[in-house]
Amino acid sequence: MKIDKLPHVATIVGVIVLGLTLIGQRVFLKKSFPDQPLKIVLEKNISLESIVANDDAVVAKLKKGDTVLFLGVVEGSYYHPYGLLVQTKDGERGLLPAADMGFPMMLTNKKDSLPVTVKSLFREKTKVKGSKGTLKYNIVKANGEKDAVNVAAVRPILPDSLSDMQLRTEGDYYMTKEKFQRLYMGHKLAENDMLYRQAWVIDKTKKGFLAYYPNIELVDTDDGKLYNPIVVYDADSVAVTCGYESGHGNNRYILKWMPFLGKIVDTDFFAHFIESSIYGSWINADTENYTEKANMTWKDVPFYMWIGIILWLVCGLAWMFLMETLPLLILEAGLYCRYLYFHLNDGVLASIFGIVAFVAIYLWLALMAVWGCLWLFLPIIVIAGICAWAYAERMLGTHPHTRCPDCRRMETIEFVNRTFDREYNEWRHDSRAIDSHTERWKTWTDVTTKWSDGRTTHTTENERNHSRTTTLYNDYDVYYHVKVYHKNYKCAGCGYREYIPEEELTELDRKFTGRHTTVSET
């Protein structure tokens, strides 16, 4: 066996997969608008609209011939339609509805992907308190049929120059409300725009500006919910107050009780692990005949795309459930660098590995809960971390040692021979089970309820299953001839020697001494 060996292949593969996943996340991450946005000259008068929930405000009235900077395509939701996010020459930002710009429109439903004509926009009435109702389009389908549909059910067909820049409201950066207040309040709009994520809506008001940041998720450690900030700037474009869009989050009951959550998510090094790109693909482009891609089936997907989908799933699951194992895999690999832990014995290293495992699991649990991983899957993170810890310390404290206690080389202690030490006779106790039986029964509480109409009902509560196992043993004194051997081992690197005792037993006599029983209950 070679004295110097590479880490176990599982460690190498794990570090490569997780490392490439992390690198890929950083390489393809886009967290700001382009430095030189595409310029669009408007061909008609149009309103620049807000995309804040339940806000029908018009940011600005734009005229034919005005030039705007194209920042990305915004996906439709129940409170705003598909459109283009643009910036005016005055620095205002907002949404230009695609239907108002004259793009051809089609239904997002793949089974009904024929062209439609948008006639008008209206808001459906609702009795829900605090809600203005869902925005809908009156449309006319290609066959002449009229309908009223949610604005998100009608999407534009865009050229490649536009459809390749699809903005995602999930392209988030996470922090607490306290950190946001500390970093953003008292600073100018231009400075804040350069911090983490830029505002999607910048609206001039009578006293200054209003900016909406849908790509910044603020964690409220008191209620566990996530909020999007809406910042009010004064006439000098300095942030003076901050409001929040309605809270959301499926892990709020976990987040509100997690110790040190605010410290974790407010540390940029940790927050960078769960931030995501503001640009991504969510619509089909170039569907000129309305059916070319919309009606594609799984049989039409090319082979290379299946490979890409599989790799995307593998890397995504690795990132979600295994990223916290990366520190442990690196620590395990360090065992093969003999001088890295030269002054630490196996017991100390095992303790360090356990502490690192606990911290890594807790950090990743906190980050995944903030990111929005469904709480049902969070135990998988714990299981993966425990398995990684067991794997990382599997070579510590073994007999014979896998890591030489003297020179600290790995897997260099080899079996040399087995030598005879001594032999002797002695009596030893022995027990053998000869019978076992289990009793099972139930207990419950009878509850009698008398009703006002004179009726009496009988029910049971606190029903429990019980069992009692009784095992009978024969006891013996056994006379053995014992031969003791030593299994001798030697380190191929430094010559360190150790041995493990081994016994061979030959029964010479056996005497019955009685019986005993054991009882276990559940």
Q: How far apart are CA 162 and CA 397, in angstroms?
A: 61
Q: Give the rounded distance of the alpha carbon of 379 from its chain centre.
A: 12
| pLDDT value at 4 more than 60 | no
Q: Answer whether 371's CB lies under 8 Å from 381's CB.
A: no
The per-residue pLDDT for range 15-70, each reduced to its tens digit, is: 888 888 888 888 888 888 988 899 999 988 998 888 887 666 788 888 988 999 99
The per-residue pLDDT for range 224-257, each reduced to its tens digit, is: 899 999 999 998 889 999 988 877 888 888 888 9
Which structure tokens are listed for 24?
Answer: 């890929």
Q: Answer whether 238's CB lies under 8 Å from 127's CB.
A: no
Q: What percent of the chain has pLDDT over 90?
A: 43
The H-or-E segment that residue 263 falls in is helix 261-265
The H-or-E segment that residue 355 falls in is helix 346-371
* Angle at alpha carbon of residue 202, lines to 200 and 203, rounded to 5°: 140
Q: Answer whether 219's CB lies under 8 Å from 176's CB.
A: yes
Those residues with Cβ within 8 angstroms of residue 246's Cβ, 6 or more apart along the chain or in another chain: 53, 227
Main-chain dihedrals φ then ψ at residue 56, nearest 5 degrees:
-95, 15
Q: How far apart are CA 139 and CA 151, in angstroms?
A: 10
Per-residue three-class SS string for 322-342: HHHHHHHHHHHHHHHCCCCCC
Q: Answer whether 174's CB lies under 8 Å from 96's CB.
A: no
Collapsing DSSP to helix, strand or coil, 399 comes out as coil
pTM (2 d.p.): 0.79
Report domain extents, the chain. 1-30+311-411, 171-276, 417-521
Residue matched to tokens 């990305």: 72
Q: How far apart are CA 401 and CA 444, in angstroms?
A: 55
| pLDDT value at 334 more than 80 | yes
Q: Mean of the per-residue pLDDT values for the chain?
A: 86
Collapsing DSSP to helix, strand or coil, 493 comes out as coil
Those residues with Cβ within 8 angstroms of residue 271's Cβ, 6 or more apart along the chain or in another chain: 173, 174, 175, 265, 367
The per-residue pLDDT for range 60-83, each reduced to its tens digit, is: 888 988 999 999 998 888 788 889
Q: How confident is the model at residue 5 (pLDDT cuts 50, 70, 90)?
A: low
Rounded average pLDDT over 170-179: 91
Q: Answer whether 160's CB lies under 8 Å from 285's CB.
A: yes
Q: How far apart are CA 265 and CA 324, in angstroms?
A: 15
The dihedral through the CA atoms of 350, 353, 359, 363 has a sign that is: negative
pLDDT at 312: 78
Find residue 438's DSSP bridge partners: 469
Give Cα separations from 193 to 198, 218, 384, 479 (angstroms). Answer: 5, 16, 38, 85
pLDDT at 2: 46
Collapsing DSSP to helix, strand or coil, 66 comes out as coil
Q: How confident is the model at residue 219 (pLDDT cuts 50, 70, 90)?
A: very high
pLDDT at 505: 94
| pLDDT value at 471 more than 90 | yes
Cis omega (within 30 of 0) for bond into 400? yes
CA proximity to 330, closest of 24, 26, 5, 8? 8
Q: How confident is the model at residue 286 (pLDDT cuts 50, 70, 90)?
A: very low
Q: How far apart are CA 203 and CA 137, in angstroms?
A: 25
| pLDDT value at 194 more than 50 | yes
Beta strands 67-74 and 166-167, pairing class: parallel
pLDDT at 131: 65
Backbone conformation region of residue 64, classed left if phi is above 0, alpha if psi is from -120 to 50, else beta = beta
Backbone conformation region of residue 72, classed left if phi is above 0, alpha if psi is from -120 to 50, else beta = left
Q: How confident is the model at residue 288 (pLDDT cuts 50, 70, 90)?
A: very low
Between 237 and 1, whose confidence is greater? 237
Q: How confident is the model at residue 487 (pLDDT cuts 50, 70, 90)?
A: very high
Q: How confident is the model at residue 297 (pLDDT cuts 50, 70, 90)?
A: low
Between 261 and 309, whose confidence is greater? 261
As a dihedral over the C-alpha atoms of residue 369, residue 371, residue 374, residue 375, rounded to 10 degrees, the angle is 0
The per-residue pLDDT for range 387-408, each reduced to its tens digit, is: 999 999 998 988 899 999 999 9
pLDDT at 129: 63
pLDDT at 298: 61
The per-residue pLDDT for range 89-148, each reduced to its tens digit, is: 988 999 999 888 888 888 877 556 668 888 877 777 766 665 677 788 888 887 788 888
| pLDDT value at 181 more than 80 | yes
Intra-chain end-to-end CA distance of the chain, in Å: 51
Q: How far apart are CA 507 and CA 301, in angstroms?
A: 71
Q: Answer whether 433's CB lies under 8 Å from 500's CB.
A: no
pLDDT at 290: 46
Give Cα separations from 390 to 212, 222, 401 (angstroms). Answer: 47, 35, 17
